[in-house]
Amino acid sequence: MNKEIFKKLYKKYQPKSIQIMLLVSFSIAAFVSMITLTIVLYSNFENRSRNVSVATGTWMLENTEDDLNRFLDNMRQVSSSLFLSVQQQTEIDSEKLLNEFSLLYRATQNDVISIALFEANGNLITASPYDKLKEDSDVTKQDWYINTIKNPGKILFSTPHVENLFSYSNDNFSWVVSLSRTVIFTKGGQTRHGVLLVDIDYASVCRIMTGINDTGLNQYAYLCDSDGNIFYHPENMEIALRKYNEVTAGAGKNAAGNYVQNIDGNTYNITVSDIDYTGWKIVSVIPYIRLAGSSSYVRYFVILILLMILLAILIMNKVIAARIARPIRMLTTSIKNGTVTDTSVPRIYIGGSSEVRYLGNTLQKLLDQISVLMHSILIEQEEKRKSELDVLQSQINPHFLYNTLDSIVWMVESGQNKEASFMITQLASLFRISLSEGRTIIRVEEEMRHAISYSNIQKARFKNSFTIDYDISDEIKDALCVKLIVQPILENAIYYGVKGMEEEGHIDVRAYKDNDDMYIEVEDNGYGIPDDILENILTETGRKSARGSGVGLINVDSRIKIRFGKKYGLIVTSELDEGTCVKIHLPYIPYTEENQKKYEKIITE
Amino acid sequence: MRKLLQSEENKGFIFLIIFLLFAIAVMALLLVNYDSNGEEYKVSVIVNNARSSRWDNLRAGIQLALADKNVDINFVTSDVYGNINIEKQLVEKEIKNGADALIVELCTSADTQEIIRSASDKVPIAFVETSAEAPKSTGKSIGFYTADNMQLGRDLASLVFEQNKDGNMTIAVLAGNQEMNSMIDRLSGFDEIMGEYGLKDFIVYEGSEINFEESFNQKELIPDIIVALDSELMENAVTWKKTNENNEYGKVRIYGIAASNANLKDLDNGYIESVIFVNDYEMGYMAATGLMEKLKSPGSDLEDGTSSYIVADREGMFDSENQMILFPTNYLIK
């Protein structure tokens, strides 16, 4: 079924010319090559682009990681420095500590919001730059404090939070990362535990992270705690507003390393790194879809280039195909436009490649031969008709001559010398025109004289049992006419029309011009011709069923057509008991020597 | 051309060429418009007293939404105090100065059809803080971005009642500009719930500014509770409370609807008992995002948006879930 449909479709859409075949073939070949090349190059470009992006991203991540570790290490050193200051004092001295805290704060104030030392019960020993806690402030309830107490001896980094310990003079609230550790000091001669706090400005952490997120590369990085909870993200607020969802959020739970994950149909290159001592993780994400090779922009660009090349290929192929196919098209056109006749042969296009030239030459020879053959056939046909006419005339003449001479003898014997003399004169005229010096084309006047002579002889023979009128227009008397075309028709009108009629038979012979044509009509009021005979009277079928000189009609018709073309010839109309009219249709051609010679030779198709 | 088209083969070829040219044009258009930040937009934000810290979060939300979008943001202070005609002139001036879109806080919600119609015919407008009368035909070019003010009023009433169940209390409600639908709705919601609690006898002070001395000290009216329905009124109430720290007026408990850092500071310092904090950050973000989408796709509709709010008191304001809304971090990150 499918095969049939395919066949039908192929038949319907198969290329109909060699040019289209060439165009389609060239275009398909070029397009397939181009697509293959593009896919290979694009794939290569995509891989290279991805590798470069991943390498650059990894390098950026390592730099950021180093920056962050360096920064946090500095903060740890600040904390350690404070720790040593506290430890070195045999008895805690708030004033002295405040000086040291203030000094260190001033040195680090770009990155530090506050420094403070608390007793284990939450009482503030000293702090810088603020020395007073907010009213009702309870440090022991703060998460970072609780964690520090739970982990004595460890340096802990909290996740970012809003600092809410001290009273500020302005309306600002600071986001901080609390760096805290337990500390042992002596107060009032007793060893006591406390907590040392360095509130790091979270903006400093953000600045370091902004470095990797603002590179313009298709990479972003976020920070999360060891449980994978994100606390820094370039789209932090969008996440808070639920306008953005980090699809790789779970990646922070993974151990440090590089992962390629497919999430919701998109592939991500995820690199997880641990930040020293903090329990934080930095997660770098490179969505492949954003990479140069994978982006829609590059795809649009590649498709655009492909389309433009395809357009150029099509136009070029069209030109090339037209150039290659041109000689064949011209050859075909020259064959289509020309018609081979016995007298003319179309000139076949001979050009282009040697193969096409050979084809053209061969065709031309063939057509020339066909024309020669056609001409020979026509000449043979004419010769055949001539011989037929000659046979017919040779059949008629002795019989006609015998009857005429018999009539003349009878006239002489009965003393009708005058009538006998007229008969002999008419007979002589008849034979003179019949001979016509061997011409086939004579004047209408001569042809009509021949007809009149014939009719006069027949009228005498049949004792004027019929009448005959001639109405010959003067303007056609000097026109060309095929010899002996009226006499056979008259003979038919006499023998098969009016002969033996009870009433008086009558024949009208009219000859006249109509525009560029002329007509000779022979109309009798005789018996008429039955329809079945009339129908085929001028055909080969009619020839077989024709009686006697009925053969003459067909001969006359053929001879006219051979000379003047198929447009001309006989038109026979008849009605039973009413009569028959035979109309001879001829072109009006003035009789000149030149025309006579021309039509004497011409034999049309 | 006609001669060319007479041949079936040529017809097919010409149609193929036309198709390819069309496809090339489409791809070129896609490339030109791809992630196009080429077009620069100007967005004007017209709010009353634009310099006030009350707008910090709204401004931050707008800036976040328009970051990296090649938008020039122009903050314009209206200070028209209920005069819609002056505000209309201001809007027209901004449009004349080349604003592609506007974010406007209307000073009144009544008789606003004309200003909305005339402006929205020219540029898309996002109205923040309050809804207003708008002609129906402008539906696609305007959007209202507010909190659910009626519910906000109800929640505030419940908050006040829950924390002050004992004894008869004198409640003064600073109702603000009652020509604004937002303030009308807040008062209605507050009134509705207080009525349910049988506390209908609160005193309502209308207007954007209150003379506390005249209203309370000189009349020797000592309210137990002041409820401010707007951020600036609450700041004023706290200022007045601070000046009366050493007398009976200093004991007044203040509640209200907050939006500024000053309100939060006052809450943190104990001058305010509890607040309902409207997420202006989200409001600004939604308004700006909506406008950008409208500017990029002029055929799209500008949809209304409702911003969220949270209840915060002194203890809970630093909870991790509240921190991001009360203290947005985008100025640190962006």
Q: Report the pLDDT value the prediction gives residue B167, as an integer from 0 to 100.
A: 64
Q: What residues in A contact B332, CB-CB < 8 Å?
A: 175, 202-203, 206
pLDDT per residue as tens digits for the range A299-323: 888 889 889 988 998 888 888 888 8
Contact call for residues B331 and B60 (beta carbons, < 8 A):
yes
pLDDT digits (tens, 9 = 90+) for B217-269: 888 888 999 999 999 899 999 999 999 988 888 899 999 999 888 899 899 88
In this structure, are residues A576 and A568 in contact, taking their beta carbons and an 8 Å threshold? no
Q: Which residues pair with A571 in a beta bridge?
A: A583
Give the nearest chain B residue to A242 (CA atoms): B282
pLDDT at A396: 54
Using one digit for the tens of pLDDT, what is the confidence trace for A448-504?
999 999 999 988 888 888 899 999 999 999 999 988 889 889 988 988 888 888 888
For residue A129, whether the previous peptide bond is cis, meaning omega lies within 30 degrees of 0, is: yes
Q: Quick one: pLDDT at residue A541?
A: 67
Average pLDDT value for chain B: 86
Taking CA atoms, what residue in A is nearest to B284?
A241
State pLDDT tens for residues A515-545.
999 999 999 998 888 888 888 888 866 655 5
Q: Do A296 and B34 touch (CB under 8 A)?
A: yes
Pairing label, strands B203-206, B272-278: unpaired
- Beta carbons of A311 and B24 less than 8 Å apart: yes
Residue in A202, A234, A311 nearest the CB of B17: A311
By DSSP bridging, strand B272-278 and strand B309-313 are antiparallel
Residue B61 has pLDDT above 60, yes or no: yes
The verdict on a CB contact (< 8 Å) between B34 and A241 is no
Which of A48-57, A138-147, B176-185, B218-227 is predicted least confidently? A48-57
Q: Look at residue B325 in the predicted model and tell me its pLDDT.
A: 85
Helix (H) or strand (E) holding A157: strand A156-157
Rounded mean pLDDT of A256-269?
88
What is residue A573's predicted lDDT score, i.e. its pLDDT?
A: 93
d(CA A589, CA A596): 9
- Residue A338 pLDDT greater than 80, yes or no: no
What does the pLDDT average to over A441-445?
91
**What pLDDT, on the 0 to 100 scale, is given for residue A533?**
85
Model pLDDT, residue A86: 86
Question: Closest Cα of chain A to B234: distance in Å?
Answer: 15
Nearest by CB to A307, from B13, B27, B332: name it.
B27
pTM of the model: 0.65
- Which regions of chain B carry the CATH code 3.40.50.2300? 41-147+280-307, 149-278
- Smallest Cα distance from B34 to chain A, Å: 7
Question: Is A241 in contact with B282 (Cβ distance < 8 A)?
Answer: yes
- Angle at the Cα of A478 from the Cα atoms of A475 and A481, rounded to 5 degrees: 110
Contact B330, A236 (CB under 8 A): yes
Q: Distance (Å, rounded) from C-alpha A404 to C-alpha B99? A: 125
**B333/A171 touch (CB, cutoff 8 Å), yes or no:** no
pLDDT for position B173? 95
A59 at B interface, C-beta within 8 A: no
pLDDT at A547 over 60: no
A265 backbone φψ class: left, alpha, beta (φ>0; ψ -120 to 50): left
State which fold the B149-278 domain adopts.
Answer: Rossmann fold (3.40.50)
The answer to whether the beta carbons of residues A499 and A463 sit under 8 Å apart is no
Poorest-pLDDT segment among A362-376, B69-83, B292-306? B69-83
**Structure tokens given for B249:** 């007026």
DSSP secondary structure of A434-468: HHGGG-SEEEHHHHHHHHHHHHHHHHHHTTT-EEE
Which of A327-336, A376-385, B267-276 holds the top average pLDDT? Answer: B267-276
Q: Which residue has the higher pLDDT, A400 or A557?
A: A557
Q: Which two tokens stand for residue A580?
A: 């028959």
At B154 the pLDDT is 95
From B17, which residue of chain A is nearest by alpha-carbon distance? A311
Chain B residues touching A315 at Cβ < 8 A: 17
Shortest distance between the Cα of A155 and any Cα of chain B, in A, equals 22
Question: Strands, E, within chain B: which ranges?
Answer: 41-47, 71-77, 101-104, 125-128, 142-147, 171-176, 203-206, 225-228, 253-258, 272-278, 305-307, 309-313
Order of strands, sheet of B309-313, starting from the edge strand that comes earlier in the sequence: B203-206, B171-176, B225-228, B253-258, B272-278, B309-313
- CB pairs below 8 Å between A and B: how many? 102
ipTM: 0.81
Look at residue A573 and give its three-state secondary structure: strand
Residues A384, A391 contacting (CB under 8 angstroms):
no
- Compare CB distances from B285 to A19, A241, A297 and report the shortest one's residue: A241
Residue A5: pLDDT band (50, 70, 90) is: confident
A583 vs B6, higher pLDDT: A583
Distance between CA atoms of A413 and A28, rounded to whole angstroms?
A: 103
Testing the interface with B: which of A23, A132, A162 to mutate, by most B Cβ within 10 A? A162
More confident residue, B159 or A299: B159
Q: What is the pLDDT of residue B278?
A: 92
- CATH architecture for segment(s) B41-147+280-307: 3-Layer(aba) Sandwich (3.40)
Query: Are the Cβ atoms of A136 and B323 closer than 8 angstroms?
Result: no
Q: Which residues of A touch B306 (CB under 8 A)?
A: none
The pLDDT tens digits of the residues spanning A136-156 come to 788 898 889 999 999 998 899
* Nearest residue of chain B to residue A23 (CA atoms): B13
Give A393's strand partners. Answer: none
User: What is the separation, in whole angstroms, between the first and last Cα of chain A?
Assistant: 52
Average pLDDT estimate for B169-197: 92
Q: From the list B35, B265, B330, which residue is nearest A171 (CB)?
A: B265
pLDDT at A9 over 80: no
First to last CA, chain B: 60
A318–B13: do the CB atoms touch at under 8 Å?
A: yes
Domains parsed from chain A with CATH numbers:
206-295 (3.30.450.20), 373-601 (3.30.565.10)
Measured between CB atoms, which of B13, B270, B327 is closest to A173? B327
A514 pairs with which residues across the strands? A517
Beta carbons of A314 and B23 less than 8 Å apart: no
- Give A378 or A457, the one with higher predicted confidence: A457
pLDDT of amino acid A131: 79
In 3D space, the residue among B298, B285, B238, B242 whose CA is nearest the CA of residue B264 turns out to be: B238
The residue with greater pLDDT, B34 or B256, is B256
Q: What is the mean pLDDT of chain A?
A: 85
**% of chain B exceeding 70 in pLDDT:** 92
Confidence tier at A605 by pLDDT (50, 70, 90): very low
**CB–CB of B30 and A300 under 8 A?**
yes
Q: Which residues 54-73 in chain B show a CB within 8 A of chain A?
A: 61, 64
**How far off is chain B from A168, nearest CA to CA, in Å?**
9
Token pair 């004027």 is found at A464
Q: What percent of chain A has pLDDT over 90?
A: 27
Q: Give the H or E element holding residue A369.
A: helix A354-413
Q: How far, in Å, are A342, A374, A486, A583, B132 from residue A474 at the CA level?
A: 36, 39, 17, 18, 110
- Distance (Å, rounded) from C-alpha A552 to C-alpha A491? 9
- Whether the pLDDT of residue A587 is over 90: the answer is yes
